[in-house]
Chains A and B, each alone.
Chain A
Amino acid sequence: MAKFPLNEPVDVCVIGTGAGGGNVMRELCTAGVKVVALEAGPRFVPYRDFVNDELVMFNRTAWLDPVLPAGPDQTASPIWLAKGVGGTTIHWSAVSLRLQSHEFKARTTYGDIAGTTLVDWPITLEEMLPYYKLAEKYLGVTGRVQPFPIGNTNFLVMKKGADALGLHAHPSYLAINARGAYDKRPMCVQCGFCDTGCSTMAKWSTLYEAIPKAEATGNLDLRPQCMALRITTDAKGQAHSVVYAGPDGKHHEQRARVVVIACNSIQTPRLLLISESAQFPHGLANGSGQVGKNYTRHMSGAVWGLFPKPVEAFKGITFAGIIEDFNVNRPKERGFAAGFHFETIMMGPTRLCTFAQPGSEISTPWARGLWGEAVRELMDNYTHTAGMWIVGEDMPQERNGVTLHSTRKDQYGLPVPVVYFADHENDKKMRQYAWARGREIFQAAGAFKTYESPPWPSAHNMGTCRMGIDPGKSVVNQHGQAHQVKNLFIADGSVFPTSGAENPTLTISALAIRQAHYIVASMKKHEL
């Protein structure tokens, strides 16, 4: 681990240490590039700090700085992201799916759907494949570089229903060492607490994969509890430095040849908007006016089934299984564009009691949580409950996105982000269809009762700084490089032009690796 002198210039300053930032810094540092990484949260020690307690871990690792909800379909908390070294790879489910070929061509495939800002990606699946494969190797994805997991009981119920209906449930593509040790990390013990932080490190996180590898090169100075406040620019309009608050609250300025922002789809556009100047009056790199717009969070929901016999779905990997039959685009047959997946899900009693049918503390203001006989019936059957999460492609809309609150400030004196979200009609139709199919699957497996859950606070956050060829309609190019500021890059999910139907971390990782290779090549050619 390196310690560079404060305030002295480095090659690259990376802001954020999650899937985007972590993958970028591993690739840069192993190529000999000197990096200072700023992380707003602390550095956790997995075996000490990650415990099997949902509420404790939420309070310990979640991003709890104010993020305000807005819009008709917004949940009480817009997001569920993590704050700490490793970012949301602490909390993530480890589902590692490649986007499909047609999803890279969303506008071409789905056509001109009113009210959307659908576009094609400026890259194809073929161009992404080498980077997907590299990411899968780093992450240790099952079904790619490790054997598929053995499905848990929750998966076996899903499979029972799927088999009865002629569908195909199979163990999922997971960045979890499900069948043996991998990359010097141990095999999963099937404890069932994947999303509270993995204390055994069997689930991949940049915290204990990418970052230690980067540190081992001697080229990374990682600074936890350092909050980026502003990116400054020079007279030529290039990124000059990152001003940040250190652990003691004192402000520092880190100069760098290149700045990489990887703060997630909420904080990245917020930082750009905050970094406005006379040269960039509408926010840094926002010549297109698209910073903060086209936010997507996946069409999501859940289905729960109560069964006459025990399931004990809390045992084992939370997202152990998947059904991929519905991830196709069949608008004429189904009445909506794009597709979705079913993925197994389960929660501890503390969370299931409020998430199965959330009230206004979690969901939309008019949501009514279960209580009385309804909650008693659900929880008396806790051990007899199976669950499936729905994750589908949602339509990008210009109105959905991130703005700065006009008056409210956070603890750093920065304007608080406001996240607006409204479902598109296509999203609503897809959710209704998916709920119905989910009910059928559980009923075919023998469920005597089913529940449908609406979306929860979003862990999948995309768009808001979309990539594209046209500088007038997008923020960054196909390498995540800002059209207006050539030494400024974005390495998180905010660059997604559309969401696809797949959990985003693998694609964020592949894009970040690709971006890092581009930065190294450009530096060698003295283009950066």
Chain B
Amino acid sequence: MDRRSFLKKTGVASLAVVAGGAIPLNSIAEAARSAARPTRREAMLAVVVSRIVPHQRDVLKRETGETAKSLARQIAADEALRASTDRVLGELSKSSKAAYGRGFLDLIPDQQLILMERAQNSVDFQVLVYNVLTDYYKRPTVWKALGYDGPMNDRAHPMGGYLNKGYDKLGW
């Protein structure tokens, strides 16, 4: 696996694949048809993303759904990423059945977290965490909610920056 692909994407990992996923893989067409009704993978992704970035405020919770959708789109277009993500989701499904006799989506949040903590040492899980974080925390809506207004020296603010705007005033 080429681990130096670590930032060569905006949330898209490019990884070698060594095994298939435990969850049936959906085709791109199927993913496209699923706009109205989430596939099992999309439903699981939405839950897993919300556990990886468990912010409580509504605006931040909403964005986890956007990140899940973004990942689903990336997965549809990237076979290696799809296989890697499906290995994580497949492992969570399998361990859920083994530990609780139910599917992962039917568990309460604390049970889901326990299973995710057990899975966190795999490279695939770390890749998923990386992809979720880099997608979620690049969102201007998230920045705003965290109190960060975003770049102040971009096209909207040419020659802007924080000069004369408190860069040197701590206030405490």
Question: Do chains A and B stick together as partners?
Answer: yes
Of B37-45, B69-77, B150-158, which binds chain A?
B150-158
Residue A59 lies at the interface, judged by CB distance under 8 Å to chain B: yes
Chain B window 60-73, contacts with chain A (Cβ cutoff 8 Å), 1 for yes, 0 for no = 00000000000000
Known: A192-B162, A200-B153, A315-B167. A349 touches B7 (CB 8 A): no
Q: Are the C-beta atoms of B6 and A77 separated by less than 8 Å? A: yes
Give every chain B residue within 8 A of A119 (Cβ-Cβ): none
Give every chain A residue within 8 A of B6 (Cβ-Cβ): 76-77, 361-362, 457
Q: Which residues in window 95-135 of B have CB below 8 A to A?
A: 113, 116, 120-121, 123, 126-127, 129-130, 132-134
Q: Are the C-beta atoms of B146 and A383 separated by less than 8 Å? A: yes
Identify which of B6, B123, B136, B151 gathers the most chain A CB atoms within 10 Å of its CB. Answer: B6
Give every chain A residue within 8 A of B5 (Cβ-Cβ): 361
Residue B35 lies at the interface, judged by CB distance under 8 Å to chain A: no
What distance in Å separates the Cβ of A448 from its nearest Cβ neighbour in chain B? 14
From B126, B163, B165, give the contact of A368 (CB < 8 A): B126
Q: Are the C-beta atoms of A76 and B4 separated by less than 8 Å? A: yes
Known: A64-B8, A353-B134, A365-B3. A376 touches B53 (CB 8 A): yes
- Report the nearest A residue to B4, measured CB to CB: A77
C-alpha spacing A348/B138, complex, angstroms? 9
What distance in Å separates the Cβ of A344 from its nearest Cβ neighbour in chain B? 12
Residue A380 lies at the interface, judged by CB distance under 8 Å to chain B: yes
- Report the nearest B residue to A52, measured CB to CB: B151
Q: Are the C-beta atoms of B4 and A67 separated by less than 8 Å? A: yes
Residue B55 lies at the interface, judged by CB distance under 8 Å to chain A: yes
Residue A375 lies at the interface, judged by CB distance under 8 Å to chain B: yes
- Report the nearest B residue to A311, measured CB to CB: B170
Q: Are the C-beta atoms of A191 and B161 separated by less than 8 Å? A: yes
Residue A369 lies at the interface, judged by CB distance under 8 Å to chain B: yes
Identify which of B147, B154, B161, B165 gathers the most chain A CB atoms within 10 Å of its CB. Answer: B161
C-alpha spacing A310/B171, complex, angstroms? 8
Give every chain A residue within 8 A of B169 (Cβ-Cβ): 153
From B9, B159, B168, give the contact of A189 (CB < 8 A): B159
From A150, A365, A375, give the contact of B53 (CB < 8 A): A375
Residue B81 lies at the interface, judged by CB distance under 8 Å to chain A: no
Q: Which residues in window 1-17 of B have CB below 8 A to A?
A: 2-10, 13
Q: Are the C-beta atoms of A55 and B168 separated by less than 8 Å? A: no
Q: Are the C-beta atoms of A192 and B148 separated by less than 8 Å? A: no
What distance in Å separates the Cβ of B50 from its nearest Cβ neighbour in chain A? 10
What distance in Å separates the Cβ of B129 from its nearest Cβ neighbour in chain A? 5
Residue B142 lies at the interface, judged by CB distance under 8 Å to chain A: yes
What distance in Å separates the Cβ of A152 from its nearest Cβ neighbour in chain B? 5
C-alpha spacing A131/B59, complex, angstroms? 55
Q: Which residues in window 366-384 of A have CB below 8 A to B?
A: 367-369, 371-373, 375-376, 379-380, 382-383
Give every chain B residue within 8 A of A349 (Cβ-Cβ): 137-138, 142-143, 146, 148
Give every chain B residue within 8 A of A51 (Cβ-Cβ): 151, 154-155
Residue B24 lies at the interface, judged by CB distance under 8 Å to chain A: no
- Report the nearest B residue to A312, measured CB to CB: B166
Residue A138 lies at the interface, judged by CB distance under 8 Å to chain B: no
Q: Are the C-beta atoms of A150 and B134 separated by less than 8 Å? A: no
Give every chain A residue within 8 A of B148 (Cβ-Cβ): 314, 348-349, 382-383
Residue A246 lies at the interface, judged by CB distance under 8 Å to chain B: no
C-alpha spacing A109/B151, complex, angstroms? 46
Give every chain B residue within 8 A of A376 (Cβ-Cβ): 53-55
Residue A472 lies at the interface, judged by CB distance under 8 Å to chain B: no
Chain A window 502-528, contacts with chain B (Cβ cutoff 8 Å), 1 for yes, 0 for no = 000000000000000000000000000
Give every chain A residue within 8 A of B138 (Cβ-Cβ): 55, 349-350
Q: Which residues in window 25-68 of A have CB below 8 A to B?
A: 51-53, 55-56, 58-59, 62, 64, 66-68
C-alpha spacing A77/B2, complex, angstroms? 9
Give every chain A residue within 8 A of B153 (Cβ-Cβ): 52, 189, 191, 193, 199-200
From B4, B120, B165, B171, give the contact of A315 (CB < 8 A): B165
Residue A151 lies at the interface, judged by CB distance under 8 Å to chain B: yes
From A66, A152, A314, A361, give the contact of B130 (CB < 8 A): A361
Q: Are the C-beta atoms of A189 and B160 separated by less than 8 Å? A: yes
Known: A199-B153, A309-B172. A380 touches B134 (CB 8 A): no
C-alpha spacing A52/B51, complex, angstroms? 29
Identify which of A316, A359, A382 gathers the most chain B CB atoms within 10 Å of its CB. Answer: A359
Residue A434 lies at the interface, judged by CB distance under 8 Å to chain B: no
What distance in Å separates the Cβ of B58 from its nearest Cβ neighbour in chain A? 14
Q: Are the C-beta atoms of A373 and B54 separated by less than 8 Å? A: yes
Identify which of B132, B151, B167, B172 gathers the most chain A CB atoms within 10 Å of its CB. Answer: B167
Residue B23 lies at the interface, judged by CB distance under 8 Å to chain A: no
C-alpha spacing A383/B126, complex, angstroms? 26
From B3, B116, B123, give the contact of A77 (CB < 8 A): B3
Give every chain B residue within 8 A of A360 (Cβ-Cβ): 3, 123, 126-127
C-alpha spacing A192/B6, complex, angstroms? 23
Q: Are the C-beta atoms of B3 and A361 separated by less than 8 Å? A: yes
C-alpha spacing A429/B132, complex, angstroms? 34
Residue A354 lies at the interface, judged by CB distance under 8 Å to chain B: yes
Known: A193-B153, A379-B137. A371 touches B4 (CB 8 A): no
Give every chain A residue within 8 A of B170 (Cβ-Cβ): 153, 156-157, 160, 311
- Report the nearest B residue to A160, measured CB to CB: B170
From A68, A190, A352, A379, give the contact of B161 (CB < 8 A): A190
Chain A interfacial positions (CB closer than 8 Å to B): 51-53, 55-56, 58-59, 62, 64, 66-69, 76-78, 150-153, 156-157, 160, 187-193, 199-200, 309-312, 314-316, 348-350, 352-354, 359-362, 365, 367-369, 371-373, 375-376, 379-380, 382-383, 457
Kindly list 11 other residue pairs between chains A and B, CB separation below 8 angstroms, not including A153-B169, A315-B166, A362-B7.
A55-B9, A58-B8, A153-B166, A160-B170, A189-B160, A191-B161, A193-B153, A316-B168, A361-B3, A361-B127, A382-B147
Chain B interfacial positions (CB closer than 8 Å to A): 2-10, 13, 51-55, 113, 116, 120-121, 123, 126-127, 129-130, 132-134, 136-138, 142-143, 146-148, 151-155, 159-163, 165-172
